[in-house]
């Protein structure tokens, strides 16, 4: 007992002396890849939740249509109180009175019934196929919502990456401006440069500082949008795991309109809805055909009106039958339903044709955008190299006194503009690739 007590005390002492578990630092940046951002957005998206709910409702409708051909069984019951009546009877040979119509004010009844549609003219089958088509179309709508959300996340992600890269370029340019401004002030103090060279550099530095502030604001705006899409905390710092730099060299764009039409979920949804409208048209036309139902039931009543003469006791009876109905004239209701479904199918076909022409034009346009944006990236990289070399040469000439401060300023501004142009070209290339993927249904 003493050994156990000593072990418990030792364990408690060690737990009290142990350092507390390290809590996650809420200020630590959240590293996000593009795939992580898309996954978080799909989990948090209310639009996807709505699309999933619509798909679930469409699937439930299919089950409703499937049960229309199955038998149903139910139970009914009731109690009725009637007024008193004069009893009616017949005198028997032995002098007794045989009551034929008794005074029974309390009427109780219960019935177990079954009904089974044997033939509906194809209406239930057509409605079931229409519901299945709509359920598949709802699934395609869900895929469309996912694709739209992914494109939105890609835009937000690369928008934030663009703002980060722009800020980095401006910070480097600002540090270069500070170094050059220090050199110019030293030469001004030595009487080698006029004061307007200093003021020109100071003005350019101020403009670059304003650009840096604007870039930081744009970065925060892009981060706010990305946090909204991914459902991250409103003040969570985000660190980009991917850079704007393209991982591979520009390659020919492999994309065809035929592939896009086969992949796009919107086209599948429209095609399925055309099928559903055709099935609804067939279901409406089935209203011109007869229907046949098998019905039956068991009655347990007191009194049982099916048994004569009536007696104030519980009696059982049953019935089985086949009911047929055929509407010869319904004031044009069936014709109107058929016409409504036919027009809906025609509208869906026209919408599909319009969608196909839009996809064809969109794919061709996005291919051109990708090709031009990749060419712009190559050209902007050449521009950065050229501007950097020009700045180096001008700086060396300035150091030996054969170039003016204005020449250095112009070269530095040109380099900054070339670097910003390259950042924009990279961002445009990333977005052009994302738009082409969306147009292709990838």
Q: Is residue 319 part of a domain?
A: no
Q: Tell which phi-psi region holds residue 375, choosing left (phi > 0), alpha (psi between -120 and 50) or beta.
A: alpha
pLDDT at 188 over 90: no
pLDDT at 413 over 60: yes
What confidence score (pLDDT) does residue 254 get? 58
Q: Which residues contact 402 (CB under 8 A, 6 or more apart)?
A: none
Rounded CA gap, 427 and 416, in Å?
Answer: 17
What confidence score (pLDDT) does residue 12 get? 44
Rounded CA gap, 51 and 65, in Å?
Answer: 21
Mean pLDDT confidence for 375-382:
88
Q: Is residue 99 part of a domain?
A: no
Mean pLDDT confidence for 219-243:
86
Mean pLDDT confidence for 18-31:
57
Top pLDDT among 109 and 203 is at: 109
Q: Is residue 90 part of a domain?
A: no
Mean pLDDT confidence for 10-36:
58
Mean pLDDT confidence for 209-231:
88
Backbone angles phi, psi at 107, to 5 degrees: -115, 120
pLDDT at 15 over 70: no
Top pLDDT among 406 and 45 is at: 45
At 306-321, the pLDDT tens digits run: 888 888 889 999 999 9
- Residue 23 pLDDT grade (very low, low, confident, very high; cuts 50, 70, 90): very low
Question: What domain count does the chain have?
Answer: 1
Q: Is residue 317 part of a domain?
A: no
Q: Is residue 387 part of a domain?
A: yes
pLDDT at 8 over 60: no
Q: Is residue 303 part of a domain?
A: no
- Of the CA atoms within 13 Å of residue 310, those in its CB half-sphere come to 17
- Residue 253 pLDDT grade (very low, low, confident, very high; cuts 50, 70, 90): low
Q: Is residue 160 part of a domain?
A: yes
Rounded CA gap, 394 and 254, in Å?
Answer: 44
| SS3 call for 283 | helix
What confidence score (pLDDT) does residue 248 get? 52
In the chain, % of residues over pLDDT 70: 92
> Is 326 within 8 Å of 142 (Cβ atoms)?
no
- Residue 19 pLDDT grade (very low, low, confident, very high; cuts 50, 70, 90): very low
pLDDT at 430 over 60: yes
- Residue 88 pLDDT grade (very low, low, confident, very high; cuts 50, 70, 90): confident
Mean pLDDT confidence for 246-272:
76
What confidence score (pLDDT) does residue 26 get? 57
pLDDT at 255 over 70: no
- Residue 136 pLDDT grade (very low, low, confident, very high; cuts 50, 70, 90): very high
Cis peptide upstream of residue 303 (ω within 30 degrees of 0):
yes
| SS3 call for 30 | strand
What confidence score (pLDDT) does residue 52 get? 92
Give the DSSP letter string of 8-40: HHHHHHHHHHSPPPPPP-TTSPEEE-HHHHHHH
| Cα angle value 300/119/326 (rounded, 5°) | 90
Rounded CA gap, 357 and 364, in Å?
Answer: 11
Burial of 344 (0-12, 13-18, 19+ CB in 10 A): middle
Q: CB count, 10 Å around CB of 328?
A: 6
Q: Is residue 406 part of a domain?
A: yes
What's the longest Cα–Cα distance across the chain? 153
DSSP assigned state of 239: E
Q: How far is CA 380 from the centre of its chain?
A: 36
Name the CA radius of gyration of the chain, rounded: 41
What confidence score (pLDDT) does residue 27 get? 63
Mean pLDDT confidence for 363-371:
88
pLDDT at 68 over 50: yes
Ranges of beta strands (E only) in 304-389 are: 315-325
Alpha-carbon distances of 181 from 207, 330, 408, rounded to whole Å: 14, 92, 11
Backbone angles phi, psi at 302, to 5 degrees: -140, 100
Rounded CA gap, 164 and 245, in Å?
Answer: 13
CATH number at residue 359: 1.20.1600.10
* Tokens linked to 67: 């049960």
- Residue 394 pLDDT grade (very low, low, confident, very high; cuts 50, 70, 90): confident
Q: CB count, 10 Å around CB of 265?
A: 18
* Tokens linked to 409: 């300023």
Q: What is the mean pLDDT of the chain?
A: 83
Residue span of the structural domain in which 250 resides: 36-70+120-290+326-440
pLDDT at 67 over 60: yes
> Is 436 within 8 Å of 373 (Cβ atoms)?
no
Angle, to 10 degrees, between the axis of helix 265-285 and the axis of helix 333-399?
170
Q: Pairing mode, if any, of strands 291-302 and 315-325?
A: antiparallel
- Residue 57 pLDDT grade (very low, low, confident, very high; cuts 50, 70, 90): very high
């Amino acid at each position: 007992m003493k050994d156990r007590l000593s072990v418990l005390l030792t364990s408690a002492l060690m737990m009290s002396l142990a350092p507390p578990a390290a809590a996650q630092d809420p200020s630590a940046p959240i590293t996000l890849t593009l795939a992580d951002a898309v996954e978080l957005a799909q989990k948090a998206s209310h639009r996807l939740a709505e699309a999933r709910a619509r798909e679930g409702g469409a699937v439930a409708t299919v089950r409703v249509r499937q049960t229309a051909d199955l038998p149903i069984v139910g139970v009914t019951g009731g109690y009725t109180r009637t007024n008193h009546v004069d009893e009616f009877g017949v005198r028997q040979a032995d002098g007794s009175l045989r009551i034929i119509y008794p005074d029974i004010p309390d009427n109780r009844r219960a019935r177990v019934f079954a009904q089974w549609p044997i033939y509906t003219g194809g209406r239930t089958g057509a409605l079931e196929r229409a519901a299945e088509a709509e359920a598949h179309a709802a699934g395609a709508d869900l895929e469309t919502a996912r694709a739209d959300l992914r494109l939105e996340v890609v835009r937000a992600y690369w928008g934030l990456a663009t703002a980060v890269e722009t800020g980095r370029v401006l910070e480097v340019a600002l540090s270069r401006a500070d170094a050059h401004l220090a050199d110019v002030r030293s030469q001004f103090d030595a009487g080698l440069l006029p004061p307007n060279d200093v003021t020109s550099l100071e003005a350019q530095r101020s403009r670059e500082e304003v650009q840096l502030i604007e870039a930081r604001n744009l970065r925060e705006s892009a981060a706010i949008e990305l946090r909204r899409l991914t459902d991250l905390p409103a003040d969570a710092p985000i660190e980009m795991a991917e850079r704007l730099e393209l991982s591979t060299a520009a390659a020919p764009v492999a994309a065809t309109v035929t592939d896009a039409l086969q992949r796009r979920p919107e086209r599948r949804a429209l095609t399925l809805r055309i099928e559903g409208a055709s099935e609804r048209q067939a279901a409406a036309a089935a209203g011109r055909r007869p229907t046949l139902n098998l019905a039956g039931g068991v009655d347990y009543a007191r009194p049982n009106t099916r048994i004569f003469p009536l007696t104030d006791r519980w009696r059982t009876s049953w019935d089985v039958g086949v009911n047929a109905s055929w509407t010869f004239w319904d004031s044009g209701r069936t014709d109107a339903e058929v016409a409504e479904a036919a027009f809906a199918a025609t509208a869906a076909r026209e919408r599909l044709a319009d969608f196909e022409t839009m996809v064809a034009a969109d794919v061709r346009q996005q291919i051109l955008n990708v090709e031009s944006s990749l060419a712009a990236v190559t050209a902007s990289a050449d521009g950065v190299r050229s501007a950097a070399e020009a700045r180096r040469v001008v700086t060396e000439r300035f150091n030996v006194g054969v170039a003016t401060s204005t020449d250095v300023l112009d070269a530095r501004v040109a380099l900054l503009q070339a670097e910003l142009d390259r950042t924009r070209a990279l961002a445009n290339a990333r977005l052009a690739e994302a738009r082409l993927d969306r147009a292709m249904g990838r």
